[in-house]
């Protein structure tokens, strides 16, 4: 037995399995050629940041676009970041946006798939088995330095003006302990971390091709990084190598804060004898900084829209948020959407190579536009159901009004919907109260200030008086409009807009002004969807009542 083998037994006598057994237990996946296996690997913080939604969406589509597989792994080795039931928060938070996993953690204490456990705290023996193997081969060793000693070392390196600080080469003093020394220290109960004996050279370089950022060259890792902490729990780096190898990921898609760790990761894959995987580092979502005019990262602290909860509370549909994220993820998404207006959004051929290397810019106005498009192609029933579900939680008054008469409410949302050019007034459910205001007396506020400019109060009164006389509730839309046209000459208006434009001096206005007066009288708005449909829905009694009230407020009888 070599000293390394003796050391491995001394440190890991409880580990009986061999790496080969795990290799066999988690065989190569049986997937079609070119299928990508990706994962989302959050800490159980319960919080879904817009950036995590963006990352998980990209990861899911990178897998789906190749008939691959996407799984959820919970990285709970850092207990400080954990919140109670954070796992459910994440699974539910993502599922609300349509992000679903093929495999992995499915909920609290629930998982699916043959490559688990998918929660790092349940994989201690697996990490230790691979750590034992590294010790056996002389590629890892116990380090008995205390935290105090490590900070002293750093301080000294700083004072000495060293470019590279840390635990490496000649500074890695536990590297050279003999087996006897190691044995004595372990047996005396001294705590230790397990460190990698880095094979990196000071002038060594690594080059890798990042799917998003392109070709990257970086100095090799020379640090004897910690693989297992004092409690035997792996560091992120070591767990990443072991897990992504055994879970048979093919592509590591993650935030670009990890890019500086790639040399360490590639080295770890190599020393462990694993195939090096492909990396795609996603740049953070950026925002225009109002103060400086420059670009900055979307911040959890400063920007409410950094939390996906913000969008839910405002009443954006998850579909809109996803659709918007797709527009900033792949710039050809919008063209694809125009060509395939009703296609299932996740069938978009997502391409990681088209993602921004410098960071996509989040633009709220664009988000609103995208959302208006999404809502405009929904059926009236869909709008109704979703708006009611939102209002039940966030706006009780609206909920009561909308659910009082389902058919009437659906009628409101049916106006100007379902045709080739649907209206685009609603971007989020919190817009709806304003949108439906004049359909409910409880919300309606009279305001007749926006009469057409060329129509004075007396003319407006005259128009309304005349309209009352010709009002026929059973009219078709054509009949209704014909009657309004017929009414025009009687009161000095022309039914012909062109004629008015040619000789405005001959008329008080045209048919458009006449219907505007009626519109303002009935709805207190200058712009509304189709007026005929509104009147039909409001009914004869309410329409005439509103007209009378307007006449009165304008000073008529």
Please report whether residue 42 would count as binding ligand GLU according to CB under 6 A: yes
Cβ distance to ligand GLU smaller for residue 46 or 138:
46
CB contact at 8 A, 413 and 385? no
The only residue of 7, 11, 19, 43 in contact with ligand GLU, by rule CB under 6 A? 43
Cβ distance to ligand GLU smaller for residue 78 or 363:
78
Stretch 492-531 residues interacting with ligand GLU (CB under 6 A): none
Please report whether residue 265 would count as binding ligand GLU according to CB under 6 A: no
Please report whether residue 282 would count as binding ligand GLU according to CB under 6 A: no
CB contact at 8 A, 551 and 461? yes
CB contact at 8 A, 101 and 72? yes
ω into 117 cis (within 30 of 0): yes
Give the HSE-up count for residue 247: Cα atoms under 13 Å, Cβ half-sphere.
34
- Closest distance between ligand GLU and the C-beta of residue 192, in Å? 25
- Closest distance between ligand GLU and the C-beta of residue 87, in Å? 13
- Closest distance between ligand GLU and the C-beta of residue 217, in Å? 21
- Spatial neighbors of 153 by CB under 8 A, at least 6 apart, are 145, 167, 171
CA distance 248 to 195: 25
Stretch 5-24 residues interacting with ligand GLU (CB under 6 A): none
Q: Which of 540, 390, 541, 389 is nearest to 472 (CA)?
A: 540
Stretch 51-110 residues interacting with ligand GLU (CB under 6 A): 75
Tokens 């993602």 correspond to what residue? 355
Cβ distance to ligand GLU smaller for residue 136 or 281:
281
CA distance 366 to 362: 8
- Contact region for ligand GLU (CB under 6 A) — 38-46, 196-204, 336-344, 352-360? 38-46
- Contact region for ligand GLU (CB under 6 A) — 37-45, 205-213, 387-395, 454-462? 37-45
- CA 329, chain centre distance (Å): 11
- Spatial neighbors of 146 by CB under 8 A, at least 6 apart, are none
Please report whether residue 254 would count as binding ligand GLU according to CB under 6 A: yes
Cβ distance to ligand GLU smaller for residue 43 or 250:
43
521-534: b (≥16 Cβ within 10 Å) or e: bbbbbeebbebbbb
- Closest distance between ligand GLU and the C-beta of residue 71, in Å? 12
Please report whether residue 123 would count as binding ligand GLU according to CB under 6 A: no
- Contact region for ligand GLU (CB under 6 A) — 35-43, 166-174, 203-211, 284-292? 35-43
Cβ distance to ligand GLU smaller for residue 89 or 512:
89
Helix (H) or strand (E) holding 510: strand 509-510
CB contact at 8 A, 464 and 550? yes
Pairing label, strands 103-107, 69-72: parallel
- Closest distance between ligand GLU and the C-beta of residue 78, in Å? 8
CA distance 424 to 55: 29
Cα angle vertex 259, ends 356, 45, to 5°? Answer: 90
Name the burial class of residue 178, with classes exposed (0-12), middle (13-18) and buried (19+) by CB atoms within 10 angstroms of its CB: exposed
- Contact region for ligand GLU (CB under 6 A) — 39-47, 180-188, 368-376, 435-443? 39-47
- Closest distance between ligand GLU and the C-beta of residue 181, in Å? 36
Q: What is the CA radius of gyration of the chain?
A: 34
Residue in the shown chain whose Cβ atom is closest to ligand GLU? 254
- Closest distance between ligand GLU and the C-beta of residue 41, in Å? 4
Cβ distance to ligand GLU smaller for residue 128 or 235:
235
The only residue of 237, 240, 245, 251 in contact with ligand GLU, by rule CB under 6 A? 240
- Closest distance between ligand GLU and the C-beta of residue 261, in Å? 9
CA distance 344 to 311: 21
Cβ distance to ligand GLU smaller for residue 206 or 282:
282
Cβ distance to ligand GLU smaller for residue 55 or 196:
55
CB contact at 8 A, 493 and 507? yes
Tell me which residues touch ligand GLU (CB under 6 A): 41-43, 75, 240, 254, 258
């Amino acid at each position: 037995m070599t000293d390394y083998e003796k050391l491995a037994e001394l440190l890991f006598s409880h580990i009986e399995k061999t790496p080969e057994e795990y290799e066999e237990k988690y065989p190569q996946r049986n997937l079609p050629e070119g299928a990508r296996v990706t994962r989302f690997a959050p800490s159980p913080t319960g919080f879904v940041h817009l950036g995590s939604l963006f990352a998980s969406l990209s990861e899911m589509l990178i897998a789906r676009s190749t008939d691959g597989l996407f799984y959820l792994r919970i990285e709970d080795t850092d207990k400080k970041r954990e919140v109670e039931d954070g796992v459910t928060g994440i699974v539910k938070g993502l599922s609300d946006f349509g992000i679903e996993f093929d495999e992995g953690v499915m909920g609290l204490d629930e998982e699916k798939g043959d490559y688990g456990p998918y929660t790092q705290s349940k994989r201690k023996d697996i990490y230790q088995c691979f750590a034992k193997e590294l010790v056996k081969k002389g590629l890892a060793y116990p380090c008995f330095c205390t935290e105090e000693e490590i900070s002293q070392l750093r301080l000294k390196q700083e004072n000495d003006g060293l470019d590279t600080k840390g635990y490496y080469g000649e500074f890695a003093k536990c590297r050279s302990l003999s087996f006897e020394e190691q044995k004595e220290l372990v047996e005396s109960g001294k705590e230790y971390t397990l460190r990698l004996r880095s094979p990196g050279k000071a002038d060594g370089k690594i080059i890798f091709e990042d799917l998003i950022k392109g070709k990257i060259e970086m100095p090799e890792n020379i640090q004897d990084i910690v693989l297992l902490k004092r409690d035997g729990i792996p560091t992120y780096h070591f767990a990443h190598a072991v897990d992504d190898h055994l879970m048979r990921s093919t592509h590591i898609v993650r935030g670009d804060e990890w890019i500086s760790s790639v040399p360490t990761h590639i080295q770890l894959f190599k020393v462990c004898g694993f195939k090096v995987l492909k990396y795609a580092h996603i740049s953070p979502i950026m925002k225009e900084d109002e103060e400086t005019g420059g670009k900055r990262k979307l911040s959890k602290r400063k920007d409410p829209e950094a939390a996906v909860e913000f969008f839910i509370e405002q009443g954006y549909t998850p579909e809109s948020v996803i659709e918007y994220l797709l527009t900033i993820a792949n710039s050809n998404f919008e063209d694809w959407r125009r060509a395939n207006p009703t296609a299932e959004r996740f069938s978009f051929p997502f391409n990681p190579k088209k993602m921004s290397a410098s960071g996509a810019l989040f633009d709220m106005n664009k988000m609103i536009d995208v959302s208006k498009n999404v809502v405009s192609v929904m059926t009236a029933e869909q709008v109704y159901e979703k708006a009611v579900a939102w209002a039940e939680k966030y706006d009780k008054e609206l909920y009561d009004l909308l659910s009082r008469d389902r058919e009437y409410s659906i009628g409101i949302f049916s106006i100007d919907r379902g045709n080739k050019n649907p209206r685009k007034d609603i971007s989020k459910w919190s817009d709806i109260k304003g949108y439906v205001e004049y359909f409910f007396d409880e919300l309606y506020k009279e305001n007749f200030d926006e009469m057409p400019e060329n129509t004075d109060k007396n003319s407006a009164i005259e128009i309304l008086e005349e309209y009352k006389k010709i009002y026929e509730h059973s009219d078709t839309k054509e009949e209704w409009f014909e009657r309004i046209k017929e009414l025009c000459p009687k009161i000095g208006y022309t039914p012909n807009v062109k004629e008015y434009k040619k000789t405005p001096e001959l008329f008080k206005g045209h048919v458009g002004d006449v219907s505007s007066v009626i519109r303002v009288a009935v709805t207190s708005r200058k712009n509304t969807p189709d007026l005929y449909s509104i009147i039909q829905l409001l009914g004869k009694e309410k329409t005439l009542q509103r007209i009378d009230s307007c006449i009165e407020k304008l000073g008529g009888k």
